[in-house]
Amino acid sequence: MPSNIFANSSAFQHLLAHVNDIKETTISQLFEQEPERFTQFSLEAAGLFLDYSKNRLTGTTRDLLLQLAEQQHVEQQRDAMFAGQKVNFTEQRAVLHTALRAPKNQPHFLDGTDINQQIHGVLEQMRVFTEQIHRGEKRGVTGLRFTDIVNIGIGGSDLGPKMVCHALRNIARPDLRMHFVSNVDGHALDAVLRQLNPASTLFIIASKTFTTADTMLNAHSAKRWFLTFFSDAGVSHHFVAVSSNPAAVSQFGIDQKNRFDFWDWVGGRYSLWSAIGLPIALALGFEHFRALLDGACAMDQHFQHAPLAQNMPVLLALTGIWNRNFEECGSISIATYHQDLLYFPNFLQQLDMESNGKCVNRHGQATQTATAPVIWGDVGTNGQHAYFQFLHQGADITPVDFITCIRPQHALPEHHTTLLANCLAQSKALMLGKTAQQAEEELQEQGLSPQQIALLAPHRTFPGNRPSNTILMDTLSPSALGALIALYEHKVTVQGFCWGINSFDQWGVELGKVLAKSIAGTLISSEPDNNHDGSTKGLIARIRERQKSPP
């Protein structure tokens, strides 16, 4: 269902007036005015707990945001997506990654056909293959068991599996080492190949079309490396493909029984639930991969059926819209207080910025408001000693999503207590800040002179009133991680529905790829360069000249 123009909706106009009404109210004052604020602005779903009370919004704000979601037909668009309608309207594709994690007995129709059989056929193929590797039934060409698995992909074919494998490494099999190569920079592949025994290495080539330039260059280079040790016959033992292009897979030398299919209704950044998740199943075991899917499915069910006012993805999305469009916050920092969630901010960068980094709405018109914020972050407590200075005292106000677990998966309880204390303290400090008077009193207690106090107090003052969300999991289990990923997937989708943009295409990725082909030809040519702008020509000329001289 087409959306209304976002900025023209009556709810948007009411929110513009409302933000002026509360512009002098701080988050701390809201807690003083509302003793039950924490209870009123928090909820639990699919094993996750969300506290969004430390945002500068009131019950009226939330009501207006919910009206905005209703006026933008969020529920209808959500239902259309789950029903297999072609909500990716620029590519005329359905968006059904949610079907990949649904129960086997739950039908999903696409163009009148139930696609469940296809989905669970591939899942069964993954299960059988994974167990054959783990039992040692599938081995390398010399008969050695596989010890190393190299996933070669890029974008969603790399970020999702790598993030999950790292996040759940505490339950990973100790007899398999996982490696991920995405960057076309040869240093990345070279660094991995140097660690490997070709006789015990399995390569997974992950490319839907099997034509992705970066992935296929890495794949062919890996194959050439392998062929310096073994003949072409060995390729079928050591290479498998995740692709929908059987002809290209066969041409590469991979046996069709080692090709795992997926479909055009699975977008790259939503694909870890598909055969793209094969590295996850191999690293963790298929039962843990299934638990990851089940956790995401639990969040899907909540997103589909909970009323908007008690819907965690919807409320997280609307809080983000409030901060982006009405509080004018240009970025969000993701602070994961769990070392194993190291790659989660990177994963969310692609999910959010590739989905909603758009300036044209579904009507082909320029959006009248900002859309996707910049997503960035790191694990706590590392970030506290790097960019948190900016968060606390920088000129820009940046909302923070704090993500942590109640229980650790190690036997160092004092470490976890310190970690949790830091996580909670940072969100409290961002909200409360420190007034000039408080800073002056602290300095007086230290015995400083009035002149020293006047000099130092402004630098020891924190403005506070800086928004944050906190998401708690009991432990970082496969099901909890699945729910967490799905929460952010649906958050991004709801924001796209509200903004009236297509969250499921990524045309902005293409232009640079096309130009790169032309420039690559010029770099290795001896012919004069007449096809590029002055800067590009100058840079090419310098590179050519320097490459001719001795290093």
Facing residues of 326 across strands? none
Taking the C-alpha atoms of residue 492 and residue 219, their distance in angstroms, rounded to an integer, is 32
Which residue ranges does the chain devote to CATH 3.40.50.10490?
A: 6-72+306-432+466-505, 113-291
Facing residues of 470 across strands? 51, 402
Q: At what angle do helices 74-82 and 286-305 cross, to 10 degrees?
A: 140
The arithmetic mean of pLDDT across residues 337-348, rounded, is 98
The arithmetic mean of pLDDT across residues 204-212, rounded, is 96
Q: Which of 30, 501, 142, 95 has its CA nearest to residue 266?
A: 95
Question: How deeply is 464 buried, as exposed, middle or buried, from its count of CB atoms within 10 A (0-12, 13-18, 19+)?
Answer: middle
Flag whether the pTM goes above 0.85: yes
> What is the predicted pLDDT for the residue at 526?
79
Average pLDDT in the chain: 96
> What is the predicted pLDDT for the residue at 1?
40
Question: How deeply is 511 buried, as exposed, middle or buried, from its count of CB atoms within 10 A (0-12, 13-18, 19+)?
Answer: exposed
| 481, pLDDT greater than 70 | yes
| 506, pLDDT greater than 70 | yes
The percent of residues in the chain predicted with pLDDT above 70, rounded, is: 99
Q: At what angle do helices 510-524 and 534-548 cross, to 10 degrees?
A: 40
Span of 65-69, 419-423, 537-541 with lowest mean pLDDT: 537-541
> What is the predicted pLDDT for the residue at 513?
84
| 511, pLDDT greater than 90 | no
Both structure tokens of 8: 């023209």
What is the number of residues in the chain? 551
Residue ranges in 243-366 assigned as alpha helix (H): 246-252, 278-284, 286-305, 312-321, 344-349, 355-356
Look up residue 366 and give its DSSP letter. B
Alpha-carbon dihedral angle through residues 412, 334, 74, 96, given to the nearest 10 degrees? -70
The edge-to-edge listing of strands for the beta sheet with 331-337 is 42-45, 48-51, 468-473, 400-405, 331-337, 374-379
Taking the C-alpha atoms of residue 235 and residue 504, their distance in angstroms, rounded to an integer, is 35
> What is the predicted pLDDT for the residue at 3?
44
> What is the predicted pLDDT for the residue at 517?
86
The 3-state DSSP class for residue 159 equals helix
Cβ 289 vs Cβ 129: under 8 Å: no
Taking the C-alpha atoms of residue 334 and residue 403, their distance in angstroms, rounded to an integer, is 8
| 6, pLDDT greater than 90 | yes
> What is the predicted pLDDT for the residue at 56?
98
The arithmetic mean of pLDDT across residues 152-167, rounded, is 97
Cα end-to-end span (Å), the chain: 60
SS3 letters across 416-470 = HHHHHHHHHHHHHHHHHCECHHHHHHHHHHCCCCHHHHHHHHHHHCECCCCCEEE
Residue 2 banded pLDDT, cuts 50, 70, 90: very low
Facing residues of 376 across strands? 333
> What is the predicted pLDDT for the residue at 4?
57
Cβ 108 vs Cβ 102: under 8 Å: yes
Look up residue 360 and give its DSSP letter. B
Distances in Å between the Cα of 20 and the Cα atoms of 27, 122, 193 are: 15, 54, 58
Taking the C-alpha atoms of residue 101 and residue 120, their distance in angstroms, rounded to an integer, is 10
Taking the C-alpha atoms of residue 551 and residue 547, their distance in angstroms, rounded to an integer, is 8
Amino acid sitting at position 494: V
Which residue ranges does the chain devote to CATH 1.10.1390?
A: 510-548
CATH architecture of structural domain 113-291:
3-Layer(aba) Sandwich (3.40)
Taking the C-alpha atoms of residue 17 and residue 146, their distance in angstroms, rounded to an integer, is 63
Q: Which residues are catalytic?
A: 354, 385, 513
Domain 510-548 belongs in CATH node 1.10.1390: yes
**CATH (one of 3.40.50.10490, 3.40.50.12780, 3.40.50.300, 3.30.70.270) for 6-72+306-432+466-505:** 3.40.50.10490
State pLDDT tens for residues 284-322: 999 999 999 999 999 999 999 999 999 999 999 999 999
Cβ 398 vs Cβ 430: under 8 Å: no
| 539, pLDDT greater than 70 | yes
Please name the residues in contact with 190: beta carbons below 8 A apart, sequence gap of 6 or more: none
